[in-house]
Amino acid sequence: MSKNDDKPGQGPDNSRPKARLPKGLLDSSAQEIRATEAMLATIKSVFELYGFEPLATPAIEYTDALGKFLPDEDRPNAGVFSFQDNDEQWLSLRYDLTAPLARNVAENYQTLPKPFRRYQTGTVWRNEKPGPGRFRQFMQFDADTVGAPSVAADAEMCMLAADTMEALGVPRGDYVVKVNSRKVLDGVMEALGLLGDTNITKRLVAFRAIDKLDRLGMYGVRELLGPGRKDDSGDFTEGAHLTEKQISAIVAVLEAKDFGSLRPILDQVTVNTGGVPDEHGGLAHLPYEDALNEMTELEGLIRTAGYGPDRIWLDPSIVRGLEYYTGPVFETELTPAIKDSRGQTIRLGSVISGGRYDGLVARFTGERVPATGISVGVSRLLFGLQLLGKYKGDDVQGPVVVLVFDRDRLRDYQRMVQTLREAGLRAELYLGSSGMKAQMKYADKRGSPCAIIQGGDEKERAEVQIKDLALGATLSKIEDREEYLKKQAEAQFPWPEAELVEGVQQVLKRYKA
Amino acid sequence: MSKNDDKPGQGPDNSRPKARLPKGLLDSSAQEIRATEAMLATIKSVFELYGFEPLATPAIEYTDALGKFLPDEDRPNAGVFSFQDNDEQWLSLRYDLTAPLARNVAENYQTLPKPFRRYQTGTVWRNEKPGPGRFRQFMQFDADTVGAPSVAADAEMCMLAADTMEALGVPRGDYVVKVNSRKVLDGVMEALGLLGDTNITKRLVAFRAIDKLDRLGMYGVRELLGPGRKDDSGDFTEGAHLTEKQISAIVAVLEAKDFGSLRPILDQVTVNTGGVPDEHGGLAHLPYEDALNEMTELEGLIRTAGYGPDRIWLDPSIVRGLEYYTGPVFETELTPAIKDSRGQTIRLGSVISGGRYDGLVARFTGERVPATGISVGVSRLLFGLQLLGKYKGDDVQGPVVVLVFDRDRLRDYQRMVQTLREAGLRAELYLGSSGMKAQMKYADKRGSPCAIIQGGDEKERAEVQIKDLALGATLSKIEDREEYLKKQAEAQFPWPEAELVEGVQQVLKRYKA
């Protein structure tokens, strides 16, 4: 920490600090929290069913242990929040849950069950430029299998994503898990002479360009594969600077409708580029052959297990933007047209994504440990589910509020609250210092089903008044006098104090789903 | 971020990073996570019953918004992890959940229901010197009522702490909630002439000394109230440098057995110090009078609600180390002698603590907003409960593991897994590349109830072998031959593949609690 005058924690001139959050950070309301928790509980139940075990790692790691795998490399610190420890070593807030998993596995490899199957829910941080729908703190929910070379582990990830969507209440047909192998495009890159360390930037920029196909369309991807692209705001993104021949070959692969039509296209690419010559001058083992065989095996496993192409679809255009993928990659989309509150169609993007990353643990140990996994984008998935009418977080009723009519009788009111709580009913004493009108407003704002009032008269008759707040709010709309009187009598009624719990339960029953 | 050579993310000489965590940070095992989650769910249910609503705030806040309220001020950054944003503003990781709450309330005061009653579970970070049982990341679970001047809000916090302990399975008598008012000692300080800004450090050091009474005993506290104290390791802690007369007065108050015996002691202190003269030269309104009245009112409320002195105890020696408390303060202790694995008695300290802090929101707005709350020390409470035999986190059974006998028949095995999962049974396919012996070891390590095996012979008979792993492990200890054969037949048996689910359920039933 540098020792300049601008010390942490001191505003200018000892003035009062302003109550505000840094950009890209948000508070969450009770409703959002309840919706998120309900959704996470469902996801967790599916991950547990699949045999994954929970793991938690701390938010802070050594910077070098996390590595740099974020796509957004133009920003300082490569998009990561970093700071120095007291011993001058650099620490960072984790930017995903995969890098810490690799660290955990490398550290504990001897004692872990192999394969190691873990899930983890956690907050991650990105030191990115905040924008609409782009936050600097968000939550991920990951499942990974480490130490599993078999494509069966990748197949399982696809099935896990599909089962998770259905457990969340998304009907079959309203979601699709797309899978491809990074090796297909790796093979194309090889045929196009783009392998090797000197081409690493070109490959990465190309992968990121292809990852944006859904958002930019093929023309935009072409621009990014070439010299670059200017977006609507006028910002220019540098391209991969591939040749027109290289671009055409990649586009041909991306335009393959399915894996069946992929093989002839790939063969054509190889022939066009002259292929990769073997020692006898003929065409060598085609570089994407492995990938195609792997995908065939994966398809066999998922179809035999009963997952049809309506649920898991092999899509040659999926690539993912992260650098570390080495094999199959996955994306999950909600397929119904999703519209926001203004009726605009929203491009939500992938809600469960991942892939195989066989090199991450080797960063530490030098030994290749095959691994594959998926990550749920918690906020994005919740947003999508809510637009489909699910996980609204509005299913918890507010507390019964015992009002303070007579400040000298706090003890009596507190005892009533106690009685309700002992019966398992959510209840509280009004703890502010305002009068009855404000107290009623408070109970309304809290979403209370009913308020309990006891003035001197009620006390003398050993009674309370129970006021049904939802019903009370509808009274002004009733025009028929008889109906009004009937509803009014239901909306507020005297009740024996000794039977307080039963009286409240009577009101609660009116609103049970 | 300074631009020196020691850039984040780069180890020396591009060597491989070491897989390790910074000191004071830990990974959590599945068992720890399950135990914590079960405990948090119970706490949440009680907090909800009391009418509190969840709130979440981000981990990162502006440093000036968090303020400096940590007791450990000798460390750089006053114990907080801080870093500069891209616009040079200082950000910090939150060190508790109270400071962010104050920021949230100040920011949203107009729209919040008043009082505002919220609970929050969250990770907090302290940039402290790590040590045994002292971590740099831990979890808190807070409940606060903001905008409630009434002592009824403080009384509720005591009852909430007591009810939480009982909901967690701690029997009455095995815990006690201790409550005092910071104002009692504030009054004593006033009588001793220690008010005012010039004495702020003396008062703070004195409060922190008193907060250590439980750990250091009265002699240690006396030293810290005086010139200072050298601990067992030889480290010297600077004291408050009070006079012997001042120290004696404070000690007399701390030695009061209960609030009944406190008043004469306080009167004596006031007389001894000459008291606070009023304008006529007599003794003014005694400064602790308010505190005593408040505590009497609090006692009335909790006793009427049915909480006896065995559950909530008024204890004049409780003070809490945090600077910002302005009224009642609370601590909760487990009372049975707690022993660690080596039989040593452990001083666990307070597991649920808090107090009234009427000044925190005013830091932002200038307007005093009364507030009170408690915080559960999640790890410490879990540690205590586990030593009492609760919340072990060992109640989730491992998955059924379908072994891979014949690698060419992955699809068949995957379908068996699918069948089990569809029946709601936790199951997985062995996804590693090892042979049968290692696969059995894996299933053991995962705590699987049983493994499913199908070789060629079984396949021909449309059967599987079901192996009960727990029972299998006990076989070698059986000496009686007949008993051995009987158990052996139970431990591994052939079963029709078509009835796989029923066969597995038969084994699971053996281990149902």
Interface check for B22 against chain A (CB to CB < 8 A): the answer is: yes
B105 → chain A, closest CA residue: A19
Instruction: Please compute the mean of the pLDDT values over residues A354-361 and round it to a whole number.
Output: 93
Interface check for A30 against chain B (CB to CB < 8 A): the answer is: yes
Residue labelled with tokens 């009982």:
B166
Higher pLDDT, A411 or B341: A411
Residue labelled with tokens 């180390």:
B321
Interface check for B293 against chain A (CB to CB < 8 A): the answer is: no
B91 chain-A contacts, CB cut-off 8 A: 22, 81
- CB interface of B with A, residues 253-272, below 8 Å: none
Cross-chain residue pair B415–A304, CB shorter than 8 Å: yes
Q: SS3 of B329, please?
A: strand
pLDDT score recorded for residue B278: 59
Q: What is the mean pLDDT of chain A?
A: 89
Count CA atoms within 13 Å of residue A270 on its CB side. 22
Q: What is the DSSP string of A113-141?
A: -SSEEEEEEEEEE-----BTTB-SEEEEE
- CB interface of B with A, residues 386-415, below 8 Å: 396, 398-399, 401, 410-412, 414-415
pLDDT score recorded for residue A67: 85
- pLDDT 10s per residue in chain B (513 long)? 333 344 444 444 457 999 999 999 999 999 999 999 999 999 999 999 999 999 999 999 999 999 876 654 444 456 899 998 888 889 999 999 999 999 999 999 999 999 999 999 999 999 888 877 789 999 999 999 999 999 999 999 999 999 999 999 999 999 999 999 998 888 888 888 888 888 888 888 898 899 888 888 999 999 999 999 998 888 899 999 999 989 999 999 999 888 888 888 888 887 777 655 556 655 555 667 888 999 999 999 999 999 999 999 999 989 887 778 999 999 999 998 877 778 888 788 899 999 999 989 999 999 999 999 999 999 999 999 998 899 999 989 999 999 999 999 999 999 999 999 999 999 999 999 999 999 999 999 999 999 999 999 999 999 999 999 999 988 989 999 999 999 999 999 999 999 999 999 999 999 875
Cross-chain residue pair A114–B432, CB shorter than 8 Å: yes
B119 → chain A, closest CA residue: A30
- For chain A, give the percent of residues with pLDDT over 70: 92
Instruction: Please compute the mean of the pLDDT values over residues A411-438 and round it to a whole number.
Output: 96
Instruction: Please compute the mean of the pLDDT values over residues A232-254 and round it to a whole number.
Output: 90
Out of B8, B363, B429, whose CB is closest to A17? B363
Distances from the Cα of A82 to the Cα of A89, A90, A93, A388, B16, angstroms: 10, 7, 7, 38, 20
Rounded to a whole number, what is the distance in Å from the CA of A50 to chain B's nearest CA? 6
CA distance A466 to A490: 9
pLDDT score recorded for residue B78: 63
Cross-chain residue pair B410–A301, CB shorter than 8 Å: yes
User: Two tokens at B278?
Assistant: 């009023």
- CB interface of A with B, residues 351-390, below 8 Å: 363-366
CA distance B304 to B298: 10
pLDDT score recorded for residue A408: 93
Q: Is A225 exposed, middle or buried (0-12, 13-18, 19+ CB in 10 A)?
A: buried
Interface check for B125 against chain A (CB to CB < 8 A): the answer is: yes
Taking only the tens place, the pLDDT of each residue in A74-105 is 444 568 999 988 888 899 999 999 999 999 99
A147 chain-B contacts, CB cut-off 8 A: 432
Cross-chain residue pair A415–B137, CB shorter than 8 Å: no
A59 chain-B contacts, CB cut-off 8 A: 59, 93, 123, 125, 137
Q: What is the DSSP string of B420-442?
A: HHHTT--EEE--S---HHHHHHH
B164 chain-A contacts, CB cut-off 8 A: none
pLDDT score recorded for residue A69: 64
Q: Are A122 and A57 in contact (CB under 8 A)?
A: yes
Interface check for A12 against chain B (CB to CB < 8 A): the answer is: no
Asked if pLDDT for residue A285 goes beyond 90, the answer is no
Query: Residue A6: how many CB atoms within 10 A of its CB?
Result: 12
CA distance A426 to A440: 17
Asked if pLDDT for residue A440 goes beyond 70, the answer is yes
Cross-chain residue pair B53–A30, CB shorter than 8 Å: yes
Q: Are A186 and A319 in contact (CB under 8 A)?
A: no
A156 chain-B contacts, CB cut-off 8 A: 414, 428-429, 431
Interface check for A423 against chain B (CB to CB < 8 A): the answer is: no
Interface check for A21 against chain B (CB to CB < 8 A): the answer is: yes
Interface check for A106 against chain B (CB to CB < 8 A): the answer is: yes
CA distance A161 to A302: 12
B66 chain-A contacts, CB cut-off 8 A: 9
Q: Which of the given ranges, A224-233, A284-293, B71-80, has the highest pLDDT on average?
A: A224-233
Cross-chain residue pair B364–A304, CB shorter than 8 Å: no
Q: What is the DSSP string of A41-66?
A: HHHHHHHHHTT-EE-B--SEEEHHHH
Higher pLDDT, A479 or A134: A479
Check: complex ipTM more than 0.95 = no
Taking only the tens place, the pLDDT of each residue in A103-117 is 999 999 999 999 999
Taking only the tens place, the pLDDT of each residue in A109-140 is 999 999 999 999 999 999 888 877 789 999 99
Prior bond to A370 cis, omega within 30?
Answer: no
Distances from the Cα of B190 to the Cα of A481, B280, B287, B316, angstroms: 65, 19, 7, 17
Q: A–B: how many Cβ contacts below 8 A?
A: 336
pLDDT score recorded for residue A428: 97
